[in-house]
Structure 1
């Protein structure tokens, strides 16, 4: 698809190698259409790997998309060169007056911290509020999904004794929801999390609907009726080897991790990985872009309205 990303971004070479069409600024400017404006607030430590994963999933529609990579602060990331951040990322303050058709907020390795103890909690909640006024539809992934549920609805995740790690079967609960258009009745998706919110807690919020779930790991996709908020508790963006890297990292740190379920052939870490979630992950992002962003966003983004239905903070 014609996705426009910054020139020289490392993801560009990876995507071109996968025969995914990217567009430079010159070609984008020659097309007489309004592209979708999509921001990615990347909270993951390895920014470059996450960029590739998300841009790949944004690449399967005929829509032209401008992507802004956004960072929450100027602190040097642990696993990404500072030069990369300076070259390709916008400080949030520099885009705070901009309006976006779509925004993706990634997960973060913060499972064991209380929300208020996260060093950038005040900043991330300010961005959550900002998105209600400046973004047509926001997609919250994993930790961000739980953090947004806490911020807006006062629902606190509980921490599991054993991490959900693996590739789990899910079923389509709302087959008429456009996010799941084209999905098989049962499909697989990766999870890697300690945090958990019960399905009943999501369904207890007026205007939210669980549209895909798993008997083993609970709610997977939760969407608001007005299409302005989507919560995804897993990692449809993960590469084939991401869970393997996490497992071996935790082994090296003597954390005694469980073998990711339904991931290795015969559940044997010495065997090959069974990659069976990319098609549905790609379709989820395509449906979000088409039905929750493109079909609902105003042509003139200055006309974007503040989110109408009432949300409540955790302090109410």
Structure 2
């Protein structure tokens, strides 16, 4: 089914060129169904790239998805044109009285700072608190996952001796979870971070459960037992070239960077990277939208965020 986004958004042309069903606003208005409303809080500096990557993953869903883009006002975005932000992004003050079926909070390249040192931390905390009553389910990515699991459950992030960087094999800690329905016993996912959240800290919390882990990269997916919060500590949305772009950028800055692990054939950066994570990345987003948003969100959007705690807790 289609994803509904503004006709002029740069991602629209990119997705249509990939034969992804993007519905125009005019056509969507004439369909007699209620779309899922998903709010995307984009904290990444490369906002157009990130919004395109995530919209691609949201496109293969069981119902029409209407995405609204959210930015923080307490941080000055220097890598995205002000015109793009003014045209396509909203602010928290503009949506605080609205309800959403899903909320996605992206990563951000700030994991080496303490949470409280991040200039938009107070605003992010306000949004995460608001999500408890205004979003049916929230999907946190990478640093966004570290921030969310710390804010909601007090689980700390810990510094790594070196950057966790590459594409790593993972296994399922809870095979019965609908979130990973269709996953192979071993699957791959990209990571790019200087900090981690440890499995032992998650397992010690009665309101959290592990879903997928890696012997090399550590925790990949965890969730709350009430299925309101999902935490993905890697970057399943990454394109084939994203890790390469990060590596080339850091080398150009004079940083001593190891090659991204399990990424270049023969560890040769002159060769094209091999994408080994696309199918499981798509499944992860599709399963979240289907089983934890579409199947359980109230039809009356004004009730999104209300919890009955029964069906969700069993998953």
TM-score, normalization: structure 1?
A: 0.95
C-alpha separation between the residues in 1 aligned to 2:76 and 2:303? 36
Are 2:227 and 1:207 equivalent residues in the alignment? Answer: no
C-alpha separation between the residues in 1 aligned to 2:286 and 2:60? 6
Query: For 1:26-64, what per-residue CA distance to the aligned partner results, in whole angstroms no more than 9, with x for missing partners?
Result: 111111111100000000001000011000000112310
Are 2:285 and 1:259 equivalent residues in the alignment? Answer: no
Query: Which ranges in structure 2 are unaligned for 5 or more consecutive residues?
Result: 310-315
The structure-2 alpha-carbon separation of the partners of 1:203 and 1:275, relative to structure 1 and needing over 3 Å to count, comes to: same
CA contact (8 A) 1:132 1:307 kept: no
Query: For 1:170-207, what per-residue CA distance to the aligned partner results, in whole angstroms no more than 9, with x for missing partners?
Result: 01121110000000110000000011111011111112
What is the number of equivalent residue pairs in this alignment? 309
Give the superposition deviation at 1:304: 2.9
> Which residue number corresponds to residue 173 of structure 2?
173
C-alpha separation between the residues in 1 aligned to 2:251 and 2:304? 48
* Higher mean C-alpha deviation, range 195-204 or range 234-243: 195-204
Q: 3-state SS of the aligned residue for 2:126?
A: helix
> Which residue number corresponds to residue 284 of structure 1?
284
Give the superposition deviation at 1:149: 1.6
C-alpha separation between the residues in 2 aligned to 1:272 and 1:72? 35
> Which residue number corresponds to residue 44 of structure 1?
44
Query: For 1:233-289, what per-residue CA distance to the aligned partner results, in whole angstroms no more than 9, with x for missing partners?
Result: 000000100000100111111111110000000111112201111110011000000
CA contact (8 A) 1:74 1:91 kept: no
Give the superposition deviation at 1:125: 0.5
CA contact (8 A) 1:4 1:22 kept: yes
TM-score, normalization: structure 2?
A: 0.96
> Which residue number corresponds to residue 120 of structure 2?
120
The structure-2 alpha-carbon separation of the partners of 1:305 and 1:13, relative to structure 1 and needing over 3 Å to count, comes to: closer
Q: 3-state SS of the aligned residue for 1:138?
A: strand
> Which residue number corresponds to residue 110 of structure 2?
110
C-alpha separation between the residues in 2 aligned to 1:79 and 1:32? 39
* Higher mean C-alpha deviation, range 250-259 or range 147-156: 147-156
Query: Which ranges in structure 1 are unaligned for 5 or more consecutive residues?
Result: 310-316
CA contact (8 A) 2:137 2:305 kept: no
Q: 3-state SS of the aligned residue for 2:37?
A: strand
The structure-2 alpha-carbon separation of the partners of 1:296 and 1:308, relative to structure 1 and needing over 3 Å to count, comes to: closer
C-alpha separation between the residues in 2 aligned to 1:153 and 1:226? 13
C-alpha separation between the residues in 2 aligned to 1:248 and 1:231? 28
Are 2:44 and 1:22 equivalent residues in the alignment? Answer: no
Q: 3-state SS of the aligned residue for 2:67?
A: strand
CA contact (8 A) 1:69 1:90 kept: yes
Q: 3-state SS of the aligned residue for 2:79?
A: coil
Give the superposition deviation at 1:305: 4.3
Q: 3-state SS of the aligned residue for 1:165?
A: strand
> Which residue number corresponds to residue 192 of structure 1?
192
Give the superposition deviation at 1:76: 4.1
> Which residue number corresponds to residue 87 of structure 2?
87
Q: 3-state SS of the aligned residue for 2:190?
A: strand
The structure-2 alpha-carbon separation of the partners of 1:30 and 1:17, relative to structure 1 and needing over 3 Å to count, comes to: same
Q: 3-state SS of the aligned residue for 2:98?
A: coil
Give the superposition deviation at 1:219: 1.0
> Which residue number corresponds to residue 164 of structure 2?
164
Q: 3-state SS of the aligned residue for 2:40?
A: strand
